[in-house]
Chains A and B, each alone.
Chain A
């Protein structure tokens, strides 16, 4: 990706949803309106999301994931063999029901609000996962573009569920082979459309490292089973590298965060990136897009031994608060990280999206706009100092 200036400002992906968009999404999911009718509504929402980002000074814009129910479950509509299932429907198959109940109570959410795409047959492509989003985005902005897609580990882990998936795929590894091939074909299509930055979302890696020892959980979209952490991380690295192997001419990032469904900080995962970095650094991507704006992200000294090994998409704004971060404070934070990264290795972004889950957006559009504006202002200040 041709980087023309230092400290490019970008987003992690999702924008806030208006009630009329959520209502239309529900109508489409219930079969009350067609995909084309929904897209006509969503087009307006995407245009607003693009305008907000451009006006705020974002250099690499996304479409706000406005057509998605959430950052990964939308694949159900794009792939045959997948079924979107609520946790309330999966409870009969869950091994540790008591453990799930504890999490539901801690989060104070109903089981019907947690949904995951489950592979119930051999998965097959019906249309591109994000090709429609990408085309529309490219047609409506002249700026560089980013498309977030579910990472191969996330998609495999969330979609393979014992008792439901094992007839088509006896093991997770069997499903992973198909997932990787589907994602590779999608990435090539996005690259051919001229998308500049493809971000592979892997939030469930956080649960592997920072979550409890539960084999199954639904935190960080990690609904499916896992084995021991080392095996999971090795599995994730292998899948990521198989997904991007040999594909040049597009910028790859991996996004990891610790939950973005609640404004209650105490229900989100915490811990520094130290335990994850050895594996993230082995992923053949250009950039790590990391949550770094809250104390939960831990000490930045963990980057010391990985100086400049990769670019950092530095999270400098908490998407779940009403307060707008002061540009001077953002500059201060970036300067701390410049101890371990050169200026041309740093991109600036919020910690995560503003509407990861369509029905549980964590902020409003005006607040999100002002947060991005503050980041862009900080980027200008940094360019003057470091340029």
Chain B
């Protein structure tokens, strides 16, 4: 275990202070809890841009769908969001514990359960992923048991993963302008 001012490109002491303040200070907890926001603007065809704070992500669909494949699709970006969230969780927990990470990758994949519902040919079933597989590859200065525990903490503590894993209430609204 390393005891360093900077570890994995982060500051272990600062991270501990931040996560402690989320527990101890209701205002910090409120700020971190949200609301988190995204605005998605149609760009023509199947293309869209998502604006989040000062950031922009583009989305499209594969060419096979009469799209231009100019960017990854939303369902691929969902997998990426989950993988990124798992990465953040793993790195957070590793860094707080002083574990140096050399390399880390998460490989994700999923299959749609009934994409015919998206296509308008079926009224039943789940058009979304029936399951999502996420495999962590990691090279770090800790034994396998420690790394497995960090992975468990990352999975169980991942906001994106747990949103996908649980029945999340979706509130939709509509306005004709």
A residues in contact (CB < 8 Å) with B? 86, 88, 104-105, 109-113
Contact = CB atoms under 8 A, between A and B. Distances in A.
A42 B124 CA distance: 64
B156 interface: no
B105 A112 contact: yes
A49 B124 CA distance: 64
B137 A112 contact: yes
B175 interface: no
- Chain B interface bracket (under 10, 10 to 19, 20 to 34, 35 or more): under 10
B59 to A, nearest CB: 17
Given A105-B107, A111-B105, A112-B105, 16 more contacts: A86-B103, A88-B103, A88-B105, A104-B107, A105-B109, A109-B137, A110-B103, A110-B105, A110-B107, A110-B137, A112-B103, A112-B104, A112-B137, A112-B139, A113-B103, A113-B137
Interface of B is mostly: strand
Interface in B93-148: 103-105, 107, 109, 137, 139
Nearest to A104: B107
Contacts of B103: 86, 88, 110, 112-113
A109 to B, nearest CB: 8
A316 B25 CA distance: 69
Interface string B80-103: 000000000000000000000001
A-B pairs with lowest CB-CB distance, top 10? A110-B137, A112-B103, A110-B105, A112-B105, A111-B105, A88-B105, A105-B107, A110-B103, A112-B137, A112-B139
Interface of A is mostly: helix
Contacts of B104: 112
Nearest to A30: B102
A262 B170 CA distance: 46
Q: Which of A88, A104, A109, A112 has the most chain B CB atoms closer than 10 A to its own CB? A: A112
Contacts of A104: 107
A248 to B, nearest CB: 46
Nearest to A26: B102
Nearest to B136: A110
A201 B55 CA distance: 48
11 contacts: A86-B103, A88-B103, A105-B109, A110-B103, A110-B105, A110-B107, A111-B105, A112-B103, A112-B105, A112-B137, A113-B137
A104 B135 CA distance: 12
A52 B105 CA distance: 37
A104 B108 CA distance: 12
Interface in B154-176: none
A86 B104 CA distance: 12
A105 B105 CA distance: 12
A104 B104 CA distance: 15
Nearest to B135: A108
A19 to B, nearest CB: 12
A198 to B, nearest CB: 34
A313 B35 CA distance: 68
Contacts of B137: 109-110, 112-113
Contacts of A105: 107, 109
Contacts of B105: 88, 110-112
A111 B139 CA distance: 12
B98 to A, nearest CB: 17
A86 B103 CA distance: 10
Nearest to A109: B137
A88 B103 CA distance: 10
A92 to B, nearest CB: 15
A113 B104 CA distance: 10
A173 B109 CA distance: 40
A105 B104 CA distance: 16
Contacts of A110: 103, 105, 107, 137
Nearest to B137: A110
A112 B106 CA distance: 11
A88 B105 CA distance: 9
A285 B83 CA distance: 50
Contacts of A111: 105
A112 B105 CA distance: 8
Contacts of A112: 103-105, 137, 139
A104 B139 CA distance: 17
B27 to A, nearest CB: 39
A25 B107 CA distance: 27
B101 to A, nearest CB: 11
A112 B107 CA distance: 12
A112 B140 CA distance: 13
B64 to A, nearest CB: 13
A105 B137 CA distance: 12
A110 B109 CA distance: 14
Contacts of B107: 104-105, 110
